[in-house]
Amino acid sequence: MLTGNYDKILEKIALASGIEKEEIERRVEAKRAKLSGLISKEGAAQIIAAELGISFDNEKLKIDELLPGMRKVNVVGKVVTLFPVREFNKNGRSGKVANMIIADETSNIKVVLWDTNHIELIEKGEVVEGTVVEIINAGMRDNELHLGSFSEFKKSEEILENVKSEIVAKEKNILNFKNLENVKTRAFIVQIFEPRFFNVCPECKKKVISEGEGFVCAEHGKVMPEKRALLNLVLDDGTETIRGVLFHESISSLGLTDLENVDSFIKQKEELLGKEMFFSGTIRKNKLFNNKEFIIDKAEEIDLDALIKELEENAN
Ligand SMILES: [Zn+2]
């Protein structure tokens, strides 16, 4: 969904307040303007809701309705990934922490358990991957759902099918990209740099170093390396520009097919410059230049028919 989450929040506020959606949207925009656009539409809508005395507390929410800052969150989801329970020892405090990803039909989210009673359910094997769990009274910390000793964590009888277990990228403007976020954006390609090539180990895909005649992997010793490509480009969506990095397989999603053939690369590059596409991936901070970088997993053609259909559905 492009704006599903925002729309649902608007609808909830409209329903609870009796104010028309268009008017709420106007207030959201006014709030964002006042805060110099530093806040997302969803965040601004949450402030408007609070100002109107509307609370999402104790309401059972879908995962794509969860927002940073929410407290007393109730949600049901299927455990799609369960990470090993970790023990920690920090500042003289020790304990256990468990991480998992839960999903429903709208989205997925990382859940962090701090309470030993909750963690015990995992250690005893009562909650495993595939278990549907009910979470009551949890709190959002950034984009994670955290459970403390006041939260409830239990198995649910609900049956969840077709859960959305792939990483859901948030659709954002480049200006609002934050470090480590998974994002999707619609932007123009304004610059493409020469591809670079390097060698990796065929086993672990890590970089190999050339030694004498051959190549050596730190873990696998002497190997026949695989040649990999890396491509840098610059994207602009009207709010900001960002440098994007694409590795090997992702490059073909741009439509670049034969990177090592200079003539065909120049020709395909000319066709790509100025083209608008959807890009999804992760934001990383480049420590060397102290700026943000967009590690692009996938470039997609803009399907205008699908966009129009979605707009129509949202309008209904
Ligand atoms: Zn290796």
Q: pTM, whole model, 2 decimals? A: 0.55
Q: Hey, is 268 helix, strand or coil?
A: helix
- 25: Cβ–Cβ under 8 A, 6 or more apart, which residues? 10
Residue pair 255/279 in contact (Cβ under 8 Å)? The answer is: no
Distance 206 CA to ligand 1 centre (A): 6
In angstroms, the Cα distances linking 179 to 65, 93, 272, 284 are: 22, 28, 27, 5
CA of 196 to the centre of ligand 1 (A): 21
Q: What SS3 state is found at 222?
A: strand
- Ligand 1 centroid to residue 225 C-alpha, Å: 9
Q: Look up the CATH number of domain 57-165.
A: 2.40.50.140
Instruction: Give distance in angstroms: CA of 227 to centre of ligand 1.
Output: 14
- Could you identify the residue written with the tokens 């507390």? 57
CA of 200 to the centre of ligand 1 (A): 8
Q: State the distance from the centre of ligand 1 to the C-alpha of 215, rounded, in angstroms.
A: 11
* Residue 222 CA to ligand 1 centre (angstroms): 9
What are the tokens at 92? 């003289």
| Rounded Cα–Cα distance for residues 146 and 140 (Å) | 6
Report the separation in Å between the CA atom of 36 and the middle of ligand 1, taken as the mean of its atom positions. Answer: 48
* Residue ranges of the chain assigned to CATH 2.40.50.140: 57-165, 170-315
Distance (Å) from CA 166 to ligand 1 centroid: 27
In order along its 316 residues, the chain shows pLDDT tens digits of: 334 578 878 888 898 889 999 999 999 999 888 887 777 788 888 889 888 888 777 778 889 888 777 888 999 999 999 999 999 887 788 889 999 999 999 889 999 999 999 999 999 999 999 999 999 999 988 778 999 999 999 999 999 988 988 777 778 899 988 887 889 999 999 999 999 998 889 888 888 988 888 899 988 999 999 888 899 999 999 999 999 999 888 898 998 888 888 899 999 999 999 999 999 998 988 777 788 999 998 999 987 777 777 777 766 5
CA of 121 to the centre of ligand 1 (A): 37
Total count of residues recorded for the chain: 316
CA of 220 to the centre of ligand 1 (A): 4
Q: Tell me how far the alpha carbon of residue 188 lies from the centroid of ligand 1, in angstroms.
A: 37
Instruction: Tell me which residue of 235, 254, 251, 252 sits closest to 292, measured CA to CA.
Output: 235
In angstroms, the CA 234 to CA 208 distance is 28
Let me know if domain 170-315 sits in CATH 2.40.50.140. Answer: yes
Strands (E), 39-131: 73-82, 86-90, 93-103, 108-113
CA of residue 229 to ligand 1 center, whole Å:
17
